[in-house]
Amino acid sequence: MNDRTDVDITGANSNVMLVKVPKYISKRWEKVGPGGAVGKLRVSSKLNKRDFTFILKQDLANLILPDDDVKIPQEYKFHTQVAANRTAVVFSENSGQAFYSVTEQSSSSSGDGSTSMTQTKISLEGQVAERAECRPVGGDNYMKMKRYWMLGRFCYLFIVPFSRLQIRNALQPQRTTKAIDKRPIFKPTSNRTVNTFFDKKKKSDEGKKARLERDQVMDMLFKAFEKHQYYSFKDLVQITQQPSVSTLMKANTCKLYL
């Protein structure tokens, strides 16, 4: 059995445009039979730049599928860009082409010795020279489609039986900007009550630290350094509960490098 397939390369020097279309368009294109029309492409030139407008066929735009349950826009724009630094080619496959193969006929056999077979034809259509993205033009159908997708299929099925006023209220944002008539006026003060309250509370909590004997403070320092090798000065003050100046003097006396 020979698996070799011939490829038609007559269109190798042709340039083609690779267009990316939304999924809801490709689903409707699949409903069209072979050789059927899906729409019209209008090409215009503006300031030495080509402008592509694709108009989908009316019956395809109004086609309601189970997946979306909404009409889609009919007019689209192609946003093009040059396919630079990327090499891509387009192949087409045409199945069902019949051909005849002739075999040798022996003297004992009857017939003409030809058999009919079906072969898949693969053709090289061309090289991708330009890429485009198909985007819908804003309109009523486009806004309805986006609103339906945002609300979701479940929410859409339960909102439809309601009145228009209820649907409009459901689509209103929960938080809005509100203008106030009278603005509060804050008069300058020397010191706010909140600041003075925290200052007084901090002083009352700390209180005055009673000074201990030098030997007691030294014992605290030695016990602390038996547990850990390094301490910050702030931690030593918290351990000894002594004023910072007194703690620093005793630490320097012990030759402790902080």
Q: Tell which residue, 10, 218, 247, 14, has the closest CA to residue 128.
A: 14
Angle between helices 233-240 and 244-253 in degrees, nearest 10:
110
CATH number at residue 257: 1.10.10.10
> Which residue, 111, 137, 163, sits at the end of a domain?
137
Predicted confidence band of residue 158 (pLDDT cuts 50, 70, 90): low
Where in the sequence is the domain holding 213, given as residue range(s)?
Answer: 208-258
In a domain, 49, yes or no: yes
**In 201-236, which positions are buried (b, 16+ CB within 10 angstroms) versus exposed (e)?**
eeeeeeeeeeebeeeebbebbeeeeeeeeebeeeeb
Same domain, 132 and 17: yes
Same domain, 248 and 131: no
Prediction pTM value: 0.44
Same domain, 45 and 129: yes
**What type of residue is 48?**
N
Same domain, 25 and 132: yes
Predicted confidence band of residue 230 (pLDDT cuts 50, 70, 90): confident
Computed over every residue of the chain, the mean pLDDT equals: 72
Same domain, 13 and 131: yes
In a domain, 232, yes or no: yes
pLDDT tens-digit map of 4-41: 678 888 888 888 888 888 888 888 888 887 778 889 98
pLDDT tens-digit map of 85-122: 777 888 888 765 443 333 334 444 444 444 445 567 78
- Residue 118, classified by CB atoms within 10 Å of its CB into exposed (0-12), middle (13-18) or buried (19+), is exposed
- Can you tell me the distance from the alpha carbon of 59 to that of 217, in angstroms, rounded to the nearest whole number? 94
Q: Which helix (H) or strand (E) holds 104?
A: none
Q: Which helix (H) or strand (E) holds 253?
A: helix 244-253
Residue 50 has pLDDT above 60, yes or no: yes
Query: How high is the pLDDT of residue 211?
Result: 72
In a domain, 175, yes or no: no
In a domain, 102, yes or no: no
Give the pLDDT mean for 141-166: 59
Count of domains in the chain?
2
Residue 142 has pLDDT above 50, yes or no: yes
Same domain, 22 and 130: yes
Per-residue DSSP letter, 162: S
